[in-house]
Every structure is written in C-alpha cells, then in structure tokens.
C-alpha cells in the first residue's frame, strides 16, 4: 500500500464539493476506503499508517469501526480547553448530581 497516496486522496476528497457543501469533514465507509487503497482488506495497522500520513498533512483519520471520519486539525483550534486551572477552580463543574 502506498500510504502517502491514500492519505493525499482522502485529503483531496475533503477539499471536494459534495453532499451540499463546498468542502469539509466527512465519513467514508470501509468499503470505499478499501477501494481507494486498492485492496480487499484494510487492516488495523494499515489504518494506523494512513492516519500517520494524514496527521503529517494536518488531518485526522478517525476509525469508527464500520466507517472512518476525516477531519482537518484546524477544526479543533476553537474548541474550549480543560486545563489544570479549570479543574482547580471547580472540580465538580459540569457534573450532574445523581
């Protein structure tokens, strides 16, 4: 398998217009991932290698067992952060009482 080429292909799909959006995160079935890879099976170690290549390109490949998700790292930049300071301010913040 040429992991770099598979990763680039997945990034190209991210940048393509489909599903009513000009570009963006998407899910891909294992069937389609196997087709892109050109193999009848894609093993866990293959997914790990593809994921490493995607990381180098600024994207993540998330294995959800029956499909994968492709997402750009920039998506996470504006997520709120949980830090040591946050946990010291109110360790029970956000927990529901039972």
Could you give the domains of the chain? 3-76 (3.30.1370)
d(CA 78, CA 73): 11
CA distances (Å), origin 40, targets 1, 33, 37, 62, 94 = 12, 10, 9, 20, 45
Tens digit of pLDDT for each residue in 40-60?
Answer: 999 999 999 999 999 999 999
Query: pLDDT band at 69, cuts 50/70/90?
Result: very high
Query: pLDDT band at 94, cuts 50/70/90?
Result: low
Residue 47 pLDDT: 97
Residue 89 pLDDT: 78
- Tell me what the pLDDT averaged over the chain comes to: 91
Q: pTM of whole model > 0.95?
A: no
d(CA 42, CA 63): 12
d(CA 26, CA 32): 13
């Amino acid at each position: 398998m040429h992991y770099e080429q598979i990763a680039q292909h997945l990034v190209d799909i991210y940048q393509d217009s489909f599903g009513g959006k000009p570009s963006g995160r998407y899910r891909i079935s294992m069937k389609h991932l196997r087709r892109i890879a050109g193999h009848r099976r894609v093993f866990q170690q293959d997914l790990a290698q593809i994921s490493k290549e995607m990381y180098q390109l600024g994207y993540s490949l998330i294995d959800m067992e029956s499909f994968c998700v492709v997402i750009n790292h920039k998506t996470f930049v504006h997520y709120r952060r949980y830090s040591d300071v946050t946990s010291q301010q109110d360790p029970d913040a956000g927990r529901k009482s039972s």
